Amino acid sequence: MSEVRCESRRRALAYGGRCHLASLAGEPALEVKGVSHRYPAMQDDALSAVNLKIHPGERVALVGPNGAGKSTLIRLILGMETPLAGSVSVFGHSASRCLHRVAVVPQRSSIDWHFPVTVRQVVTMGRYVHLGWFRRPKAEDKEAVDAALEAMEIQDLAERQVGELSGGQQQRVMLARTLAHDADLMLLDEPLNHVDISTQELIFHTLERLTAQGKAVMVSTHDLGVLTVHFSRALFLDKRIIADGPPREVLTPETIAEAYGFEFHKDYAPWTS
Ligand code: ADP
Ligand code: MG
């Protein structure tokens, strides 16, 4: 096959075709430039002129009320929606050319948990980006799946149907799937919902380990109490970016009032006094 045909075939198969594009020198893990988005039939923008950069090693909390556009931003980054204006790049490339490097834990409510698949099958899906859809998992893929199951402490659940599990166990399965994917940018959409304290601690411990290895992580959450402890940066969003910086600096009563539209009791945020 000629060079040109090979390249165009690789592009067509960007997801399963082992299209391992290198980072462009100095490029951030994620760059969102002037992104606005509006869904058809909606009167208002879901996102308006959003700019942000995330660098390798950062652990970023994406905070905002229901309907703020957090899931929309994640879908735009993954290329599941096309922005009305602006651009998104992942390690210097469009996300669709770089899907092996970006993994998502979707919002729990957006997943059909009745689908008849086992935990092991779901976690193995994290490897398809490396395998292509029509190849059988090899020993190295099985090892990656076992390591991900072990990291999330769900080896004993491997042959269970995902629909039978608790909310917290299902979140561990989805995180294990992204660990098996071994992406460099991880986007987690409200992974702390429905999880008990031990699952929450395991999630944070895992994210800290991954960012220490140079991976970039963005986590949408409603839990303001975890920002200063577990994140290096907080990004407040309500259709537009309201505040962006170290949690201790941006987590002020003013920011919360602007994002959520009401005055917070001052005692809730003792680190701001
Ligand atoms: P968040 O994740 O912060 O709760 P979303 O990104 O889900 O917010 O939603 C942002 C806005 O876009 C909301 O007003 C929501 O109703 C709207 N929206 C989300 N998805 C769709 C869709 N598929 N079609 C039309 N409107 C949508
Ligand atoms: Mg959402």
Going from N- to C-terminal start, the domains of the chain cover: 43-272
CATH homologous superfamily of domain 43-272?
Answer: P-loop containing nucleotide triphosphate hydrolases (3.40.50.300)
Q: Is 69 in the pocket of ligand 1 (CB under 6 A)?
A: yes
Instruction: Determine the pLDDT at residue 18.
Output: 42
Nearest to 210 by CA among 228, 186, 244: 186
Mutate which of 70, 72, 218 to test ligand 1's pocket (most atoms within 8 Å of Cβ)? 72
- Residue whose CA is closest, atom 21 of ligand 1? 39
Q: Is 109 in the pocket of ligand 1 (CB under 6 A)?
A: no
Residue type, 198: S
Instruction: Determine the pLDDT at residue 5.
Output: 41
Label the pairing between strands 30-37 and 102-105.
unpaired
Please tell me the distance from the alpha carbon of residue 95 to that of residue 67, in angstroms, as a whole number: 24
Nearest to 228 by CA among 163, 191, 272: 272
Q: Is 71 in the pocket of ligand 1 (CB under 6 A)?
A: yes
Instruction: Determine the pLDDT at residue 13.
Output: 39
Instruction: Determine the pLDDT at residue 41.
Output: 87
Q: Is 64 in the pocket of ligand 1 (CB under 6 A)?
A: yes
- Residue whose CA is closest, atom 20 of ligand 1? 72
**Is the pTM for the entire model greater than 0.85?**
yes
CA of 72 to the centre of ligand 1 (A): 6
Instruction: Determine the pLDDT at residue 112.
Output: 82
Label the pairing between strands 185-189 and 216-221.
parallel
- Residue whose CA is closest, atom 22 of ligand 1? 39
Q: How many CB atoms lie within 10 A of CB 264?
A: 17
Q: Which helix (H) or strand (E) holds 130?
A: helix 128-131
Mutate which of 35, 42, 190, 260 to test ligand 1's pocket (most atoms within 8 Å of Cβ)? 42
Beta bridge partners of 235: 62, 244
Q: Is the dihedral of CA 81, 71, 20, 216 positive or negative?
A: positive
Q: Is 39 in the pocket of ligand 1 (CB under 6 A)?
A: yes
Instruction: Determine the pLDDT at residue 99.
Output: 75
Instruction: Determine the pLDDT at residue 133.
Output: 62
Give me the half-sphere count of Cα atoms (radius 13 Å) on the Cβ side of residue 172: 28
Closest ligand 1 atom to residue 75 Cα is 6
Query: CB of 60 within 8 A of CB of 232?
Result: yes
Closest ligand 1 atom to residue 72 Cα is 6
Q: Is the dihedral of CA 142, 146, 152, 154 positive or negative?
A: positive
Q: Is 75 in the pocket of ligand 1 (CB under 6 A)?
A: no
Please tell me the distance from the alpha carbon of residue 220 to that of residue 189, in angstroms, as a whole number: 5
Instruction: Determine the pLDDT at residue 8.
Output: 41
* Helices 139-151 and 167-181, packing angle to 10 deg: 140
Beta bridge partners of 245: 234
Instruction: Output the tens digit of pLDDT for each of the chain's 273 residues.
Output: 343 343 444 444 343 434 455 556 678 999 999 999 999 989 999 999 999 999 999 999 999 999 999 999 999 998 889 999 999 999 888 877 777 889 999 888 788 888 889 999 999 999 887 776 667 778 889 999 999 999 999 999 999 999 999 999 999 999 999 999 999 999 999 999 889 999 999 999 999 999 999 999 999 998 898 999 999 999 999 999 999 999 999 999 899 888 887 666 555 554 544
Please tell me the distance from the alpha carbon of residue 24 to that of residue 172, in angstroms, as a whole number: 32
Separation in Å, CA 22 to CA 9, 71, 120, 197:
18, 27, 30, 38
Ligand nearest the Cα of residue 65 is 1
* Helices 167-181 and 197-212, packing angle to 10 deg: 10
Instruction: Determine the pLDDT at residue 261.
Output: 79
Q: Is 132 in the pocket of ligand 1 (CB under 6 A)?
A: no
Separation in Å, CA 122 to CA 84, 130, 150:
33, 15, 14
Please tell me the distance from the alpha carbon of residue 45 to that of residue 77, in angstroms, as a whole number: 17
- Residue whose CA is closest, atom 25 of ligand 1? 39
